[in-house]
Amino acid sequence: MVMDGHINAAFNLPITVAFCLTLVVVCGGYSRHGSRRLPDDLLLGAATASYQIEGAWDADGKSENIFDYAIHNQPCYAIDCSNGDVAANSYYLYKRDVEMLRELGVNFYRFSLSWTRLFPTSFTDKINKAGVEYYNNLIDELLKNNIQPVVTLFHWDMPQKLQQLGGWLNNNIVDWFGDYAEAVFVLFGDRVKYWITVNEPFQICEFGYGNAILIPALNLTGEADYICTKNLLLAHARAYHVYDELFRPKQDGIIFITISTEWFEPADNSNIEAANDANQFWWGIYAHPIFSKHGDYPRIIKERVALKSRVQGLPRSRLPELSPDEIKYIHGSSDLFGLNHYSSAIAYRNASTYYYYSSFTGPSHDADAGYMSYKPPEWKIGESDRTMYAPWGFSKILAYIRNVYNNVPVFITENGFASHGGLVDDDRVTYYRGYISAMLDAIDEGSYIIGYTAWSLMDNFEWWNGYRENYGLYEVDFNDTSRPRTPRKSAYVYKEIIRTRTLDMNYEPDMSIPLTFDLL
Ligand SMILES: *[C@@H]1O[C@H](CO)[C@@H](O)[C@H](O)[C@H]1NC(C)=O
Ligand SMILES: *[C@@H]1O[C@H](CO)[C@@H](O)[C@H](O)[C@H]1NC(C)=O
Ligand SMILES: *[C@@H]1O[C@H](CO)[C@@H](O)[C@H](O)[C@H]1NC(C)=O
C-alpha cells in the first residue's frame, strides 16, 4: 500500500511522523479528518446471485432447481412464506441493474449463473439458447460500460434432477460439475476473466446436508455434511483444472473458490483451543486442503472425527479421507482466496456438551467440533442478529489468512449488512465504514487484497429469511410488480468511496439529488 499525505497531516511532531512512517501498523493511515485512502488498484464492486434476483423461474426453457422444487412443495420454507419465482425480476430488468452499477461507479459486478437456465437437462447435451442469450446480454452490457463480470458457477441452485441423483453426495458430481464448467467456459470465457467455482461450501454442506436450514435440508449431521465436503472440494478442483489446462492458455483469466468465514475469538485464554476448533470446523476444512502448505483436511478435524467415529463403533471415520492423489488434485486449486465475511463470534468450551470421548451421542458435526459460541448483544447495531458488528474480527481473519496461508491474494467476494428495510440506512453505512476500515488495517499490515465486494447490489430473496432481511445498496419494492429499485443512503456513501477512493467517515450525502452516471 502506498502511503499518502494524510498520514503526515495527522501528527504534529516530526518525530511522530518518522515513527509512523516506519510503523504503519500502529498509525493505521488515519487523517485528522477521519479519512483513509484506498489502494489505487483495489477493485471495488457489488454482488448478487441467480436464484436470489433473477425470477423467471420457468421462463424460456429453464428447468427446476432445488429451490424451485422444494419451495413449491413447501411454500413456507422461508420465514415469510415467499420464494424466488419473481424475486427482483432481474431476468427482465438486467439493464436497470447495469444502470445501478454505473451509478455506483463499480469496477466489477459479481453475479452467478443459473445452471438449469443454461442446461435444462442438467447435462451439457442440450444448451438452452434463451439462457445463453440472457447471460450474453448481461455480460455485453457490463463490458460496454467498462464493468468487469465476476461470475460464480455455483451459487446454491443445484438442478433438481441432480439432487434426485444425490447432489453433492454422489461422487459423479465431480464429472457433472466439470462438464458444466467446461461448457460455460466455452460459452462465456472469451469475455469473462474472473471465475468463482463454488460459493460458500460450509453453508451448502452444513446448512443443507448436515442441517435442514438450507435446501435440500437433508438434516444428516456428521455424515452427509462430510461426504458433501469431499465431493465439493473435488468438483471445485475439477473445474479449476479444466480451466487451468484447457482454457487459461487462451482465455487468460483467473479462477477461485469463495469460502464463507466467521471469525471465532476465544472467550478467554482457556478457550483458545475451542476457538481454533470453531474456525477449523467452519471454514478451515475447506481452506486448509487448498491453501495450506501440504493440503488435506486440518489434522485436528481428521483426528477428532476419526476418534469419535471409532468410539461410536464405526469401522471408519465419518469424514471420508482424501487419498494422496486427491490431496494433490485439490491442493493449490485456487488462484485467490475468495472470502465472504459478515460477522464474528465468541467461542468457548462447555465441559458438559464437550463429549469428546462419549459414545452416548450419534453422529453430530457440532459434537465433533465441540465448541459453543455466542455474539454479545452490544454488537447489534440494527435489526438483524446475523450481521452483528465486530469489524476487528475482519482484520483478524485477514491476518490469519496472511500468516497461515502464506499471504495468498484475497478477493473479498461478499461483505454486507442486513436490515429490515428503509432508505436512510445509517446502520449499514456504519457497518460498511467499519469493515472497510478494518480491511484497510489488514492491508496496512501487509495483507494482499485484490478486490472488495458489497453484498448486495439490491434487496433479494435471502433464502430462509425470504424478503425480511435486506442487504441491498438499492431497495427493491417487492410489492410493486415493476420491482422499482431505489438507492439507499449506503449506495450514495459507497459511490463516494469509489469515486474518491477515500473512506471518509463523515461524508453526508444529499439524497435529494438522484444518483446518476456519465453518459458514454
Ligand atoms: C433434524 O434431525 C434432528 C434429529 O437429529 C431432529 O430432532 C430435528 O427435528 C430434525 N429437523 C428437521 C427440520 O427435520
Ligand atoms: C453447557 O451445556 C449444558 C448442557 O447442554 C447447558 O445446559 C448449559 O446451558 C451450557 N452452558 C453454557 C454456558 O453454554
Ligand atoms: C410490502 O407490503 C407489506 C405488507 O403490506 C409491508 O409490510 C411492506 O412494508 C411493504 N414493502 C414495501 C417495500 O413497501
Looking at residue 31, what is its pLDDT? Answer: 54
Average pLDDT along the chain: 93
Beta strands in 130-210, from DSSP E residues, in sequence order: 148-154, 194-199
**Contacting residues for 394 by C-beta, under 8 A, at least 6 apart:** 263, 341, 344, 415, 435, 438, 439, 442
Predicted pLDDT at 351: 76
CA gap 423, 111 in Å, rounded: 24
Of all protein residues, whose CA lies closest to atom 3 belonging to ligand 3? Answer: 479
Q: Which ligand has the minimum distance to the alpha carbon of residue 212?
A: 1
Q: At 506, which helix (H) or strand (E)? A: none
* Interatomic CA distance for residues 282 and 277, integer angstroms: 8
Structure-block grid coordinates of residue 283 = 471454514
Q: Ligand 1 centre and the CA of 384: distance in Å?
A: 25
Q: pTM (2 decimals)?
A: 0.93
What's phi and psi for 455, nearest 5 deg? Answer: -105, 110
Looking at residue 350, what is its pLDDT? 85
Q: What residues are in contact with ligand 1 under a 6 Å CB criterion?
A: 212, 219
Which residue's entry shows cell 478451515? 284
Query: Residue 330 CB: number of other CB atoms within 10 A?
Result: 25
For residue 479, report the distance from its CA to the centre of ligand 3, in Å.
6
Tell me the ligand closest to 208's alpha carbon. Answer: 1
Contacts of 83 (CB under 8 A, 6+ apart): 67, 71, 72, 75, 77, 461, 466
Q: Which of 76, 77, 219, 223 to mutate to test the pocket of ligand 1 (most atoms within 8 A of CB)?
A: 219
Query: DSSP letters along 341-401, please?
Result: EEEEEEEE--GGG--SS--SS-S-HHHHH--EEE--GGG--SS-SSS---HHHHHHHHHHH
Omega before 456 within 30 of 0, i.e. cis: yes
Name the catalytic one among 54, 262, 265, 414: 414
Ligand with an atom nearest the CA of residue 372: 2
Predicted pLDDT of residue 362: 87
Instruction: Report the separation in Å between the CA atom of 500 and the middle of ligand 3, taken as the mean of its atom positions.
Output: 35
Q: Is residue 200 annotated as part of the catalytic site, yes or no?
A: yes
Question: Looking at 364-519, which runs of residues are DSSP E strands?
Answer: 372-374, 410-415, 449-455, 474-476, 485-487, 502-504
477 lines ligand 3 (CB under 6 A): yes
- Asked if 454 and 70 touch (Cβ cutoff 8 Å), the reply is no
Q: Count CB neighbours of 138 within 10 A.
A: 21
Answer whether 506 contacts ligand 3 (Cβ < 6 A): no
CB 167 within 8 A of CB 158: yes
Residue 372 CA, ligand 2 centroid: distance in Å: 9
Pocket of ligand 2 (CB under 6 A): 350, 352-353, 372
The grid cell for 50 is 441467480
Query: Which residues, at least 6 apart from 133, have a Cβ–Cβ distance to it below 8 Å?
Result: none
Taking the CA of residue 372 as reference, the ligand 2 atom at the shortest distance is: 14
Which helix (DSSP H) or strand (DSSP E) does residue 478 occupy? Answer: none
d(CA 177, CA 211): 23
pLDDT in tens, 234-264: 999 999 999 999 999 999 999 999 999 999 9
- Which of 200, 206, 326, 475 does the annotation list as catalytic? 200
Establish whether 414 is a catalytic residue.
Answer: yes
pLDDT at 518: 79
Decide: 39 and 2 in contact? Cβ < 8 Å: yes
Q: Which atom of ligand 1 is nearest to the CA of 211?
A: 1
388-392: long-range contacts, CB 8 A cutoff, minimum separation 24: 388/343, 388/344, 389/343, 389/430, 389/431, 389/434, 390/263, 390/343, 390/344, 391/431, 391/434, 391/435, 391/437, 391/438, 392/344, 392/438
C-alpha cell of residue 288: 486448509
**Vertex 203 angle, CA 160 and 326, to 5°:** 85
Distances (CA, A) of 451 to 97, 157, 390: 20, 25, 21
Residue ranges of the chain with pLDDT lower than 70? 1-33, 352-360, 520
Residue nearest to atom 14 of ligand 2 (CA): 350
Domains and CATH numbers, the chain: 9-504 (3.20.20.80)
